């Protein structure tokens, strides 16, 4: 991590007030109970490191989409008890993120307390990247640390402008994320294989175009595979039985041509699971590509031949990067392919034969469904930022922390 500033670069922290930009945008039920505290828990090591060095920690975050005005639904006050539980420390909540009330709360902080400020997005200036807002934000603090990799693709005030106004560094989670993604895509052990799923080719064009120039093997799965299969001459696929995008066939051919020119092997399904209904445990059957019914049945997963082929390719590789499921994993039994491939990748990881890096909301859910969420080398907390990194884009919230 010599390229980026870390907490160790900030010098003596004793007595200093540190603003920690976290991502505490966690899911909640209708009664404001946190239903998944992973993002809270993953922020704890940075807070503890800062506190153990004698710093006072002021935590800021966005939550939901309040569009520049305060409302109880999007208040960070709802996560105080979960943050206290995760930290084992008293958390003082301030119902603003700038101004005199915040300044007074910082001044009155006890050494073993954490200060949690109200939702940054209660101010439109946050999303606009407003420098004056950033100045107000950092006014009561000495240093700035960012642990919000999942928001690093946004040039928001608390992500970029604030980092320029105080000595700034990456937190442990941000450092972990950037390290893992660098090892996964920028400097991997080869051969490198990527699995990319999703319903539409059009939503992942930048990603596919970048990956075919970087990876040795590319598994294209989910609904987007239908377009590639059609472009590859599988005439049994049509708009009645699949998610094929007829207007993207030429694009798919261009991506396959680019892959060939870059010695990237593309792996497409060899058989598919089709069903008459889009519901759990619906009637289904596995068919070869030449036998896909013209209508009345829909492609919801890939079959055992495809699973064996994908696992065979993974076995030849040293690094796997994964974004997107192989089928409709939310419904049994159409999670079969995703589960079996994920479990095989996890097994190789545990045996020390494969480095596995995954990210994106659906991917994280799919890996949890397969029971392997703790068995991959690294699972990113980020969605959009993970995708943009895979697309080869620079993330403003990371770039600003370069030495």
- Residues designated catalytic: 39, 200, 361, 384
User: Which has the closest alpha carbon to 173: 11, 379, 323, 361?
Assistant: 379
Sign of torsion, CA 141 143 149 155? positive
Peptide bond into 191 cis (omega under 30): yes
HSE, CB side, 13 Å, CA atoms: give it for residue 248. Answer: 21
Q: Within a 10 A sphere around the Cβ of 394, how many other Cβ atoms?
A: 10
How far is it between the farthest Cα atoms of the chain? 72
Q: Is 394 helix (H, G, I), strand (E, B) or coil?
A: coil
**Among candidate residues 384, 382, 385, 365, the one with its CA nearest the CA of residue 373:** 365
Rounded Cα distance between 374 and 224, Å, is: 27
Distance CA(154)–CA(244), nearest Å, equals 32
Alpha carbon 311 to chain centroid, angstroms:
24
Question: 45 CB contacts (<8 Å, ≥6 apart)?
Answer: 172, 173
Contact predicate 236/290, CB 8 Å: yes
Contact 57, 18 (CB under 8 A): yes
What is d(CA 349, CA 353) in angstroms, rounded to the nearest whole number? 6
Pairing verdict, β 56-60 and 90-94: unpaired
């Amino acid at each position: 991590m010599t390229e980026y500033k870390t907490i160790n670069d900030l010098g003596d922290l004793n007595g200093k007030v540190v603003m920690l930009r976290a991502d505490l945008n966690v899911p909640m039920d209708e009664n404001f109970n946190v239903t998944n505290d992973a993002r809270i828990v993953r922020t704890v090591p940075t807070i503890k490191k800062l506190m153990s060095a004698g710093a006072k920690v002021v935590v800021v975050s966005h939550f939901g989409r309040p569009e520049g005005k305060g409302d109880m639904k999007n208040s960070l006050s709802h996560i105080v008890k979960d943050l206290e539980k995760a930290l084992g420390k008293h958390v003082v909540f301030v119902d603003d993120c700038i101004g005199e009330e915040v300044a007074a709360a910082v001044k009155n902080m006890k050494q073993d307390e954490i200060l949690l400020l109200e939702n940054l997005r209660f101010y439109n200036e946050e999303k606009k990247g407003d420098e004056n807002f950033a100045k107000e934000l950092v006014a009561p603090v000495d240093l700035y640390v960012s642990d919000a990799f999942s928001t690093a693709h946004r040039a928001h005030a608390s992500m970029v402008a604030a980092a320029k106004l105080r000595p700034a560094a990456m937190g442990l989670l941000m450092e972990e994320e950037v390290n893992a993604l660098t090892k996964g895509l920028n400097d991997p052990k080869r051969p490198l294989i990527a699995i990319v799923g999703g319903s539409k080719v059009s939503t992942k064009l930048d990603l596919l175009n970048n990956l075919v120039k970087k990876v040795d093997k590319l598994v294209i799965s989910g609904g987007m595979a239908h377009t590639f299969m059609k472009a590859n001459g599988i005439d049994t696929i049509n708009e009645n039985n699949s998610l094929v995008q007829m207007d993207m066939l030429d694009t798919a051919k261009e991506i396959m041509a680019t892959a060939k020119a870059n010695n990237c092997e593309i792996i497409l399904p060899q058989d598919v699971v089709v069903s008459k209904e889009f519901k759990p445990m619906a009637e289904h059957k596995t068919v070869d590509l030449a036998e896909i019914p013209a209508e009345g049945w829909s492609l919801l997963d890939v079959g055992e031949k495809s699973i064996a082929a994908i696992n065979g390719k993974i076995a030849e590789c040293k690094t796997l990067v994964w974004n997107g499921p192989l089928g409709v994993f939310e419904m049994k039994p159409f999670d079969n392919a995703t589960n079996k491939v994920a479990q095989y990748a996890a097994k190789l990881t545990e045996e020390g034969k494969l480095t596995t890096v995954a990210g994106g909301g659906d991917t994280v859910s799919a890996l949890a469904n397969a029971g392997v969420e703790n068995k991959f080398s690294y699972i990113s907390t980020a969605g959009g930022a993970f995708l943009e990194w895979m697309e080869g884009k620079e993330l403003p919230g990371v770039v600003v922390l370069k030495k």
